[in-house]
Amino acid sequence: MSQPIRVHVVVGGFPPGKHASHDMDYARVRILQALQSNVNVHATVGGDFTDCDKWIADCQLLICYVAGPFADEHQCGVIKDWLSDGGRWLALHGSTGGMPERTSDRPDGRRRMLKLPYHDTLGGYFMTHPPIREMNVDVADHNHPLTYNLPDSFFVKDEPYMIEVIHPDTQILLTTTDIEAPAIVDDLYGRDLSLLPDGKSHALGYARSVGEGEIAYIAPGHCHTPVTLTEAHKERIREIIWRDYRLPPVHESISPDGVMPAHFRGPWETEPYEQLLKNAIAWGTGVDG
């Protein structure tokens, strides 16, 4: 019998054990179900990057879906060495986030995301996202296993993430032109760091080689329930994010009156996203499902 394919899955919010406005249980189950399409896969699960050196040492693939947790400098060094030796890292949705910081020159409490060594390792840096909306996703490059069997473009309902692609040698896989940066972005970051060289597109998926290994990131993937999207979280959204945009929590393409849907699984319920996840598992394990 062949040796099992080892995969480590990190799914969690911050503080530890919290969901951070995402349905972590649903995302975790969907990822594990996708992995179990191959009976030779053995998965371990964690809530953050603690002791990642122990868990990924004999892994072929690291998958993370996090909102808040990030690898510290030591853990980034471990992951870089593992990648250089041939590991593959699939990061989903909020995994490009991390730690918000108040700026000393902003007495109104508006916050920007702190850029960390973790973002340099991952190759992407989350700035913010406008309201949940339906958006068109363009496949920018079909010459990668992650985009196998995808249409040239498809629609998803999701948070339109604004991601800075940090390294110039990154292969852009998915893009959208359906993101309009609010004025607060220039105010907090100086300019829209997520805008691609064509001046109109934003990256929603990319891949980058690191030594013998590779990193892939897919921005779509939001999901929440009434339990995970509590009144406290909704109030924080209104006060910190949507106050800046002067927009309702969701775009009219989701709800004409701007009311956040109680249950939201957006891209997870679409065929293209299921294909993306299937492709990513095959890319990371070397085995088709």
pLDDT digits (tens, 9 = 90+) for 90-144: 999 999 999 887 665 555 556 788 999 999 999 999 999 888 999 999 999 999 9
This prediction's pTM:
0.93
- Would you state the structure tokens that stand for residue 94, as one six-digit string? 């909020």
Q: What is the DSSP string of 84-117?
A: HTT-EEEEEGGGG---EEE-TT-TT--EEEPP-H
- Antiparallel, parallel or unpaired: β 100-102 and 111-113: antiparallel
Residue range 5-285 in CATH 3.40.50.880:
yes
pLDDT value, residue 28? 98
Which runs of E-coded beta strand occur in the chain?
5-13, 41-46, 61-67, 88-92, 100-102, 111-113, 124-128, 133-139, 153-158, 162-165, 171-176, 202-210, 213-218
Give me the residue spans of the domains in the chain. Answer: 5-285
Task: Report the first-to-last Cα separation within the chain, whole angstroms.
Answer: 18
pLDDT value, residue 255? 86
Mean pLDDT in consecutive groups of 10 residues from the start of the chain, 289 residues: 86 92 96 88 96 96 97 98 98 94 60 92 94 95 97 96 97 96 85 96 98 98 88 57 62 84 94 97 85
pLDDT digits (tens, 9 = 90+) for 61-93: 999 999 999 999 999 999 999 999 999 999 999
Q: Give the separation between CA 55 and CA 161, rounded to whole angstroms.
A: 29
Residue 160 preceded by cis peptide, ω within 30:
no
The b/e string for 78-112 (b: 16+ C-beta within 10 A; e otherwise) is bbbebbeeebbbbbbbbbbbbeeeeeeeeeeebbb
pLDDT value, residue 256? 83
pLDDT value, residue 57? 95
